[in-house]
Structure 1
Amino acid sequence: MTAVIKNRVKKILITVLIALAVLITVIAFFVNRYWSPILAGKVRSTILVASDSLYTADFTDADLHIVQGKLVIFNLTLKPNIKVYNRKLKQGTAPNNLYTLKVKRIVFKHIHPFLMYYDHKLEIGQIVISKPTLQVHYRQVRGRDTVEKNQITAWQRISPMLKSVHIKQVMLNDVDFTYNDRSGNTLKISAIKEVNLTGNELRIDSLTQHDSTRFYYFKELQIELNNINQPLGRDSLYRLKLKQLNYSTLTSKLLATGVGIVPAVDSAFIKKGVRTYYQFDTDTLQLNDFSLKKFNKFRIVYGSNLLLNRGNFVVFANRGLPVPKGNRLQSFPNVALQRIPNSFTLDTVELRNINITYKGYGRRSRKQGSVSFNGTSGSIYNITNNARANAARDTMRIEVTTRLMDSAPLHANIKFNLTDSAKSYSYKGWIGNIDLDRLNKATMPFALIKITSGWLDHMDFDIQANKNVSWGKVALHYHDLKVHLLKVDSAAGNYKHRMLVSLMANALIVKRNNPEFLGAVPRSVNVRYVREPDTPFFKAVMKTLAQGIKASVGYDAATEKHVKQMIVQRKLDKKRRQNKRELRQRRRNLRRRKGN
């Protein structure tokens, strides 16, 4: 009897559970059919009202799972209304950025439809958007915020329908991102894949409507870019490579790894007539206090500290191409900085272990030479083209330590005036001891001079300069200096030692030591270099220092002038002797013909 009662109870329980399940399923089905268009309509109307009719949201279908608290919208398109945009453009209230979003499936998780229906609060736990297509159209129609104090906020627009909007997280995964920049004369299009965006704590209510710390009402926006390989510039002569980039609006810190700017092949630059190009890479790039909001709206770049950690910067010079005509003043750092079209400010740039190399071919030797500055570390202060910042501080300052040719310690302090019309600058520093034959990688191809012996004890330089002239003092302390003068064998292409000329140079011109003997006063040289308009900045610096170095070893301006006169005279004498030989040969040939 007891077993029969137990079986009946089990059957009743199973029947009740099945009935409840069927009832819940039926109720959920009808609720889903009823609530899906209501929630979807709320999403559509909220976007329309919050954007002041600038954006519309369209989709083909919406599916609500009431038990799971999930809403799925299919084939969503969020796009701007061009008529509304043009009206705002005339009113001066149009934004600089327009967005277009297309996604096949968007999932709203942990939604609370009854809270929205009865309390007029839109609460969503998470929105997941996978593989969307996002287009951003940028056109700078205003250079500053023109939002008036009495302008209606997004919350004020939606408040008749909703008391608040709260979304804990919005995730856009694997975004196909296209950026259309119309700020210049031509349209620039950048396409990036593998973009992940995560927005945390979106809240639109009476408390957050004026919260300037939020980015589009998000407490935090996280951006992740992976495996970037994009062309740079109008001619695409360079490519930007990034292994990964991360940015958070909450910390305002941008961190990039595996950063590189890679030039095209040499022939591309030759075809364009570009004499100088570069290559850059760094393991880590970190920018602190970078405001994405200011950059996104007005292209304002600001950072308190930029760190470049472990990298290489290589400059390639093709001296075989014609020298560009005109004044090359734009090569001066303090001029180039002011030519940046948008506001740009970096309080400090920290360099840590950066190898800097100059490579080029000697004009006469046609062989490649190089000068390297290894393990460069230091700081650059006040890099800005902002007029207000320049009024407060008008000097950009550089302090660096490095190793010349991976050997001699070098320390330099460089200053640039950012405001004066003379484009003034100065550089002061010293170079420590080095075996001078380490410099042959540069002196042989560029100057056809081989240093066979010599030791630099130290070199001091202190130069003042502007766009027209450089002046200052150079002191070179060294001993046991000997050189070979070279020429290139036109047939074999090898260096050949000009023995007689080298002997004369070492005996009559080159001063072997400075100071000349123990206890003597070391020589120092006052230099003055007048810059030609077509001389770029770094060439002006090198010519100024070279003037002091040459004078220190005995090849001063007077000696150089005398040697050049001797060379010219020697060429004239050689031509005269050749003409005499040809004349004698013609006379002999004439006598032979008469004898025959």
Structure 2
Amino acid sequence: MRKFFKVFGIILLILLAIIAGALIYINYNAESIADRLLTKYYQEQPVSKVYEISYRDINLDLWSASVVFHDLKIKPLQSFFDGSDSIRFRHPVVFDAQIEKLAVNGLARNLSFNLKKIHFGTIRISGPHIVMIEHLTDAEKQTAKELQNAQHADTSSSDKNIKGIAIRRFILSGGSFSRMLRTQNLETLAVADIDINIRKIDLPFGKVAETLAADAFARTEVHLREINYKLPKGFYEIVIQKVDISGTDSLITLSELQLIPQYDKKEFGKKMGYQTDRMELNVPTLEIRDFDLARFVATDTVHVRNIVIAEASLVAYRDKNVPFDHSRRPKLPQQMLAALPLPVDIEKVEVKNANILYQQIDPYADAPGEVPITRLYGTIYNVTNIRPVISRRGAMMWDVQAIFFGDGKMKVEIMFPKNIQSADFSFNATMGPMQFTGFNQMIVPTEGVKIEQGTINSLWLRADAGEESAAGPMVLNYANLKVAVLKDNPEKPEDKSGLLSLLANIVINSSNQNPADTATMYFERDKERSIFNYLAKTVISGLKATLLPGRQNEDKKAQRTERREERKARRAK
């Protein structure tokens, strides 16, 4: 971000310096003289080896001390792209801009010849169409970064005698912006409409980005429309209909944010090459409150007081016909925070009335199983990887409540450790009354088992989880459970479902006593899976211990055998 501010600031400041310098020497034939002066002055600047600058005409009004450019064009020279690495590496990002009209007034204060600070009244940019071009390869970007770090050169001002500029008002309207990767001929970001309004800017040269962030942001209004961003690797596109930034209110509002997969459900996993969740996300409103831009620009620290996500809907689809990648080791949430390259401190994230649908298609299944989670309200506290902040405010915690399978009201709390390198965490949950038949949305397509009747009266559980396993008590109070096996293994076509249904109902406790006995949850962590798999499998172990007494030891043995076989298979590859 600082590079963007810096490069854009250099171009803008050079243009403004040109304007101010020209007005010092103008007379009655001002326009022709100014045109010659501007051309001569620009050709003497190092940036003239990077850009070609042209305009249709220039109008000067001496009485109002204003200047207007029409059809101003700033275009990178082809000779720059074909030039030496030294100049290309100094400008890793360049701009191709076409501006319908650039008008500046209030220049009379500069006629005192005191150019320690250049003063402007209103700068109005109408219809700018700007393309940001990244022209270096990945290897060249790394080399350029190393060279810049070694040089530590301040190139923010081309004239060391001028100390800064002051602008009473800056207005940009009807603009557009795009980001282009020249090496791939790929547009990765497009913004269809941009409006910016900033009041009272006082910029010392050499600290443009810091001053804009610390001072001018409080008097800034920005409105962006129709934003499209293609994520790397080409699997997703982010579309945002509207972004409104109010520096006065310290509020950033995103409207109609969408995460759109670029492949359908059948093709996504095949293109990815391994098993993963295909996400479709729609967020009508996302608010970022009190983002500390000055701190971010100065120290690269992301600090946000509150993020509010309203009415979001997420569909996650997993195709289990695609091979699973056993080399992947997803981190737990606190470990993800620890691995971030920047300091992050988000005090609170609120999710209001969200809906989540998890779909899973298994081999031989005709349709996906589904887990619907609706009316989800949640708060995540203390999303931070800054140790003093963790010591002061406490560790991260998730507090969530939602409707499970359209029936059961569930509350979940997950407490993470202060040591964010650790894999330890704990969780507890409760659920009110619901019908067992709700689970059929998932287990009928995936397991070939149907619950015909049964009621969950209440559920309570608590567990401590770590690097290797999770364990804890569960109390499930239920009644009148009856199941039917719809199909046997599809590779064995003979019909055994009636016999298996009978055996299942003999083995399963149809009801338990009141008060219910306490079962023990226990699950050995599969480190190739996410925290959600860890949570779900731990809970399932407790359900098995309650519904199928005596099976838990067998499940542990089967789980360990499965792990050994997977390790053998990986070593054999």
TM-score, normalised relative to structure 2: 0.75
Inter-partner Cα distance in structure 1 for 2:290 and 2:458: 41
Aligned to 2:480: 480
Task: Assess, with a 3 A threshold, how the Cα gap between structure 1 residues 205 and 447 changes in structure 2: closer, same or farther.
Answer: closer
The range that moved more, 348-357 or 60-69, is 60-69
Separation in 1, partners of 2:36, 2:457: 80
Equivalent residue, structure 2, for 1:65: 61
| 1:375–1:256 distance in 2 versus 1, CA, 3 Å | same
Question: How much has 1:521 moved relative to structure 2?
Answer: 3.9
Which of these residues, 255, 258, 263, is aligned with residue 256 of structure 2? 258
Shift in Å at residue 460 of structure 1? 0.6
Select which of 119, 122, 125 maps to 2:119.
Answer: 122
Moved more, 387-396 or 400-409: 387-396
Q: Deviations over 1:232-271 (max 9, x none)?
A: 122x111111111122344432111101101121213223
CA contact (8 A) 1:168 1:201 kept: yes
Correspondence for 1:355: 355
Q: State the match for 2:198 in structure 1.
A: 200
Closer, same or farther: CA 44–417 of 1 in aligned 2, 3 Å:
farther
State the percentage of identical aligned residues.
16
Contact 1:460 1:476 in 2 (8 A): yes
User: Take 1:174 and 1:400, find their aligned partners in 2: how far apart are those partners?
Assistant: 42
Q: Which one of 30, 33, 48 corresponds to residue 34 of structure 1? A: 30
**Gap change, CA 1:42 and 1:202, over 3 Å in 2:** farther
The answer as to 2:433 corresponding to 1:433 is yes
Deviation at 1:230, TM superposition (A): 2.7
Instruction: Specify the SS of the correspondent of 1:289.
Output: strand
Please tell me whether the aligned partners of residues 66 and 103 of structure 2 are also in contact (alpha carbons under 8 angstroms).
Answer: yes
The 5 A counterparts of 1:445-456 are 445-456=445-456
SS of corresponding position for 2:320: coil
Paired residue type of 1:505: A
* Partner SS, residue 417 of structure 1: coil
Which residue of structure 2 lines up, in the alignment, with residue 593 of structure 1?
none
Report the residue type matching 2:320 in the other structure: R
Q: Read off the aligned partner of 2:472 and give its amino acid letter.
A: G
Quote how far apart the aligned CAs of 1:227 are: 1.7
Secondary structure of 2:439's aligned partner = helix
Give the 3 Å change call, closer, same or farther, for CA 496–250 of structure 1 in structure 2. farther
SS in 2 for 1:419: coil
> Secondary structure of 2:487's partner?
strand
d(CA) in 2 for partners of 1:259, 1:458: 37
DSSP-derived class of the 2:499 partner: helix
2:532 corresponding residue in structure 1: 538
Matched, 1:410 2:410: yes
CA separation in 2, counterparts of 1:158 and 1:216?
A: 24
Task: Tell me the CA shift for residue 420 of structure 1.
Answer: 5.2
Go from structure 1 to structure 2 and tell me whether the alpha carbon gap of 1:309 and 1:401 turns closer, same or farther (over 3 Å shift): same
The match for 1:17 is none
- 1:341-363 deviations in Å (ceiling 9; x for gaps): 44433221100001112110234
Q: Give the corresponding residue for 2:291.
A: 290
- With structure 1 as the length reference, what TM-score do the two structures score? 0.72
Q: CA distance change for structure 1 residues 169 and 420 in 2, over 3 Å: closer, same or farther?
A: closer
Corresponding residue number in structure 1 for 2:176: 175
Q: Which moved more, 1:396-405 or 1:218-227?
A: 218-227
Residue 100 of structure 1 is matched in structure 2 by 95
Give, in whole Å, the separation in 1 of the partners of 2:379 and 2:286: 14
| Residue aligned with 2:324, SS | coil
Letter in 2 for 1:345: D
TM-fit CA distance, 1:301: 3.5
CA distance in 2, matches of 1:360, 1:430: 25
Amino acid at match of 1:103: Q
Q: Which residue of 1 aligns with 2:571?
A: none
Q: Is the 8 A contact 1:314 1:358 kept in 2?
A: yes
**Aligned position for 2:547:** 553
Query: 1:556 Cα deviation (Å)?
Result: 3.9
CA deviation after TM superposition for structure 1 residue 304, in Å: 1.5
Amino acid at match of 1:317: R
Larger radius of gyration, structure 1 or 2? 1
Q: What is the rounded CA distance, in whole Å, between the counterparts of 1:56 and 1:296 in structure 2?
A: 27
Deviations along 1:97-120, whole A, 9 cap, x unmatched?
8553522443314334x4322364
Cα RMSD for the two superposed structures: 4.6
Amino acid at match of 2:536: M
Residues 393-422 of structure 1, C-alpha deviation per residue, up to 9 Å, x if partnerless? 662210011001121111010122363554
The secondary structure found in structure 2 opposite 1:131 is strand
Q: Which runs of 5+ in 2 are unaligned?
A: 1-25, 559-573
Quick one: which amino acid aligns to residue 194 of structure 1?
A: A
1:100 maps to amino acid: F
- Larger mean CA deviation between 383-392 and 362-371 belongs to 383-392
In structure 2, what is the Cα distance between the partners aligned to 1:562 and 1:532? 13
Whether 2:129 is the aligned partner of 1:132: answer: yes
User: Residue 512 of structure 2 aligns to a residue in which SS?
Assistant: coil
Local SS of the residue matching 2:175: strand
Deviation at 1:324, TM superposition (A): 1.3
Give the deviation of 1:58 after TM superposition: 3.9
| Matched residue, 1:374 | 374
1:187-336 to 2 correspondences below 5 Å: 190-204=188-202, 214-215=212-213, 218=216, 220-234=219-233, 236-263=234-261, 264-266=263-265, 267-275=267-275, 276-292=277-293, 300-326=301-327, 328-336=328-336
SS at structure 2 position matched to 1:367: coil
* Residue type of the alignment partner of 1:240: I
* Residues 110-139 of structure 1, C-alpha deviations (whole Å, 9 max, x = no match): 334x43223646333232231332426597
5+ residue gaps, structure 1: 1-29, 565-596
Which residue of 2 is the match for residue 7 of structure 1?
none
Secondary structure of the 1:323 match is: coil
- What is the alpha-carbon distance in structure 1 between the residues aligned to residue 454 and residue 43 of structure 2? 77
CA distance in 1, matches of 2:526, 2:68: 69
Aligned 8 A contact 1:59 1:73 in 2 = no
Tell me how many residue pairs correspond in the alignment.
513
